[in-house]
Amino acid sequence: MTVSIGEIYEEVQPSDVAPEGGQIHGPRAGWKLALSSFVENRLAVAGAGIVVFFILFSFVGPLIYHTNQNSTNPINAFLPPSGAHLLGTDSNGFDELGRMMKGGQAALEIGFFASLIATVIGTLVGAVAGLLGGVVDAFLMRIVDVMLSIPLLFVILIVGDRYNGATVFSLSIIIGIFSWLVSARLVRGEVLSLRVRDFVFASRTMGASRRHLIYKHLIPNALGVVIVNITFQVADTINLLAILGFLGYGLNYPQVSWGDMLSNALNYLSDGYWWVVYPVGVCLVLVVMAFNFIGDALRDTVDVRLRRR
């Protein structure tokens, strides 16, 4: 509550005792408020925990849990979980747990890279459209409309087919280039509303240049929306990656994604090789869910600050 009782007017008490406008008793600094509201959200904390766990699992895990992920070994195919292979082996005799770590690396890397690309393009386009307005804005937004009406999956399938398989790098770029639309719209909306806010006008009456307005007011204030959007974008990308893998357009051997693993494994589900299906499936669901939780909580945090303003 931004309420204080100590606001004492100078005519009642001399001004050297208490300032006339009163002491400040409001909630503390913005990021602390934001952090506390984030931490209060159990799901968000769980989500953050899951993400940290999977980052460690995928990148640090292989250093501890050494497995051979380079050469197939049909003799070892479909070994059930044991001391040597904690989650058994798959149809090629790869250690399932080690493979999941490798798949996790791909998922997280592509998730982050693609979102980064999408966000950078989206923020730029959105900011330019929002700032310049007029014909430029109308033109850019029509492009966005048109592109939004093309199913992203088709495009990626066609492009993927043409280039015959993909690497982490190429998939990141392809997904990134085609998923900046939503962030462009978001940022544009934000910039449009920020641009006519009184604090921007105030800055202009001081003689601020356009540059100053962009760097000091527009970007810091639009950042919240952008960051929230990144988390959702990561979740979407990981999902998309899984779908691609599942459809057989995943990463090229020897790289592997969870989607590849799933599509492969589903053939053997009826044979009782549960360990090649469920653990991967659970990982995928957990990670996507975790990013969504974080995104939701961040959005609430940004909103709380909006409400407090």
Partner 1 sequence: MEPVLEINDLSTHIQLSRSVVQAVGNISMSIAPGETLGLVGESGCGKSMTGLSIMRLLPNGGKVVGGSIKLSGVELTKLSDADIRDVRGNEVAMIFQDSLTSLNPTMNIGRQIAEQVRKHRHVSRAEALERAAEALSIVGFPNSKERLDNFPHQLSGGQRQRVMIAIALSCDPKLLIADEPTTALDVTIQAQILGLLDDLKQRLGMAVLLVTHDMGVVAGRADRVNVMYAGRIVESAPTTELFTHMHHPYTQALLGSIPLLTQNRSERLFSIPGIPPDLTDPPPGCRFAPRCSRATDQCRTEEPALEPATNDHHFACWHPVDGPIVRTTIAVNGTAPAPAGAGEAEHSDAAPGAPETVAARNGSAAEPAFGARGWQSGEGDDRLLVVDDVVREYPVTSGVILQRKVASVKAVSGVSFTVGRGETFGLVGESGCGKTTLGKVIVGLEKADKGQVALRGTNVTGLRDRQLRRFRKDLQMMFQDPIASLDPRMRVGAILREPMKIQGIGTKRQQDKVIADLLGEVGLPANAVERFPHEFSGGQRQRIGLARALTLNPQVIVADEPVSALDVSIRSQVLNLMKRLQETHGITYIVISHDLAVVKFLADRIGVMYLGKLVEMGTGEDIYLRPVHHYTAGLIATVPEPDPMREKSKSEVGIKGELPSPVTPPSGCRFRTRCPAAQQICAEEEPPFRPFHPGHVAACHFPLQQPIDGGDPLAAQAGTAPTIAGS
For residues 178 and 155, give the distance between their C-alpha atoms in angstroms, rounded to a whole number: 8
* H helix intervals, 196-277: 198-205, 210-212, 219-246, 258-266
Instruction: Please identify, using beta-carbon distances, which residue of 5 and 63 lies nearer to partner 1.
Output: 5
Residue 185 to residue 141: CA distance in whole angstroms: 8
Which one-letter amino acid corresponds to residue 205?
T
Reference 91, options 66, 116, 72, 115; nearest CA is: 72
Cα 155 to Cα 152: distance, rounded to the nearest angstrom: 5
Asked if residue 24 binds partner 1 (CB under 8 A), the reply is yes
Q: Which of 49, 68, 143, 197 binds partner 1 (CB under 8 A)?
A: 197
* DSSP sequence for 120-143: HHHHHHHHHHHHH-HHHHHHHHHH
Distance CA 300, CA 307 (A): 10
Number of residues in contact with partner 1 under rule CB under 8 A: 52
Smaller CB separation from partner 1, 69 or 203: 203
CB of 289 to partner 1, least distance (A): 24
Query: Which of 52, 150, 202, 269 is in the footprint of partner 1 by CB under 8 A?
Result: 202
Of 218 and 234, CB closest to partner 1: 218
Q: Is there binding between residue 17 and partner 1 (CB under 8 A)?
A: no
Among the candidate windows 132-140, 182-190, 271-279, 288-296, which touches partner 1 by CB under 8 A?
132-140
198 binds partner 1 (CB under 8 A): yes
Q: Can you read off the two tokens belonging to residue 113? A: 């890279």
Nearest CB to partner 1, comparing residues 26 and 80? 26
Residues that bind partner 1 (CB under 8 A): 1-13, 15, 19-24, 26-30, 33, 40, 134-135, 138-139, 142, 197-199, 201-209, 212, 216-217, 220-221, 305, 308-309
